[in-house]
Amino acid sequence: MKTIGVFDSGLGGLSVLRALLLEMPEARYVYLADGAYTPYGGRSAAQVTERAHRITQCLRQDSAVDALVVACNTATAMAIESLRQEHPDWPIVGVEPALKPAAALSRSGHIGVLATRGTVESERFARLRTRVESESSRPLHFTTQACEGLVDAIEHGDEATTRALCARYLDALRASAKTSAPMDTLVLGCTHYPFAADILQTLSGPAVRLVETGAPVARRTRAVLGLPEANTVVCGTPHITLLSTGDPTPLAQASARWLGTTVGAIHVDF
């Protein structure tokens, strides 16, 4: 049985873990929330990279995971290339805003992107955007918006603040558009944002399709591990270990709320 390590700055990576559980329910999972340093979106690239390397080393040595999923857009943008250089013999899968799937779905060619500032201002995001635009057979227009404070509101389960911030950033997204084409696709460019998908869908309207990255990441992880597609549904309690560098209680509560598990979380200090 394969063991897969998953980490995020906080709770948002549980949206990726949810997709992994659906894709590979038979695997074991070790999820680490870097609660002592969340959110990553407001931190420098040097800080995020240092944390990513420490977490990766600990998961590989202490938990003997067979592969690592960096379930954080900011950490992927800032650190995954150096992680792969340091661990060339080991599968490391990152997440990135789903610009290419969104481009395939959009009819108008106008795509909104909500993400952290660390993601939208990263060189990796700029390269991704340029590549998707250059590979498209038609003009595309991406309108991006950094969403300060939204991760914190989602993590704390503050629905009123989450709704207010979503409304503010969607208004800003529309106001900054440089095309008259209607925005018909919205990329959730942070792993926390799928947990606000109902709010975002209501505010955006039924004509806008929301796109997230969990399922493609799960399929990619299965492929790099060389695992076949599951032929049967695995019943019973999933094999999950939850770790947090901060208070472990919110992680256990979020797992119960978003994954339907009753797994206790353990505090780790590094």
* Active-site residue (options: 58, 72, 147, 235): 72
Domain residue limits, the chain: 3-95+215-267, 99-212
Active-site residue, 190 included? yes
Q: Whose CA is closest to 150, among 214, 217, 207, 73? A: 73
Q: Domain 99-212 classified CATH 3.40.50.1860?
A: yes
Question: What's the gap between Cα 213 and its chain centre?
Answer: 7
CATH for 3-95+215-267? 3.40.50.1860
> What is the C-alpha to C-alpha distance for residues 223 and 39, in angstroms, rounded to an integer?
30
Residues 184-232: tens digit of each pLDDT? 999 999 999 999 999 999 999 999 999 999 999 999 999 999 988 865 5
Q: Do domains 3-95+215-267 and 99-212 have the same CATH topology?
A: yes
Active-site residue, 166 included? no
What is the value of pTM for the model shown?
0.88
Residues 15-47: tens digit of each pLDDT? 999 999 999 999 999 999 999 998 888 899 999
* Active-site residue (options: 147, 166, 190, 235): 190
Sheet holding 183-188, edge to edge: 141-146, 110-115, 183-188, 209-211
Question: What's the gap between Cα 198 and its chain centre?
Answer: 17
| H runs (alpha helix) in the chain | 14-23, 45-62, 73-86, 99-105, 117-120, 123-135, 150-155, 159-175, 197-204, 214-225, 248-259
